Amino acid sequence: MELGTIGEEAAERFLRLRGYRILGKNVRLNRYEIDLIVMKEDTIVFVEVKTRSNEEIAKGYEAVDHVKQARIRRAATLYLMQSRFTLSEVRFDVISVRYDLKGQCPAHILHFKNAF
């Protein structure tokens, strides 16, 4: 299993334990992709997951540049246009996962709410 997939699964478990409902994983909309789409109360959250093995935890977060943010926003717009949600809030989060290859488990997860 690839490191990115392992990180996305860790992020999904992390969010479930905090009361988020998973609406979609690796959702493709035209040429765009969203790692996780989740919901908590009346907020739909589009989540980008960045997984690293030996770098500082912030490095994953820093990889979500303005170009990546624009792609995620476009995908979110397409998703919302196709869905029937009546929500009061939409949010974009980033989850950084630092993975301990020796320990075979996430060493650290940081959840950046309203990241962009």
CA dist 85 to 44, 61, 75, 80, Å?
9, 28, 15, 7
Q: Which residues contact 56 (CB under 8 A, 6 or more apart)?
A: 98
CA 65-69-71 angle, 5° bins: 120
Q: Coil, strand, or helix at residue 88? A: coil
Please tell me the pTM assigned to this model: 0.89
The average pLDDT across 18-27 equals 97
Q: What percent of the chain has pLDDT over 90?
A: 63
State which fold the 3-112 domain adopts.
Trna Endonuclease; Chain: A, domain 1 (3.40.1350)
Nearest CA-CA partner of 76 in 113, 30, 11: 30
Confirm if 22 and 50 have CB atoms less than 8 A apart: no
pLDDT score recorded for residue 116: 92
Per-residue model confidence (pLDDT) at position 1: 63
Would you state the pLDDT for residue 14? 96
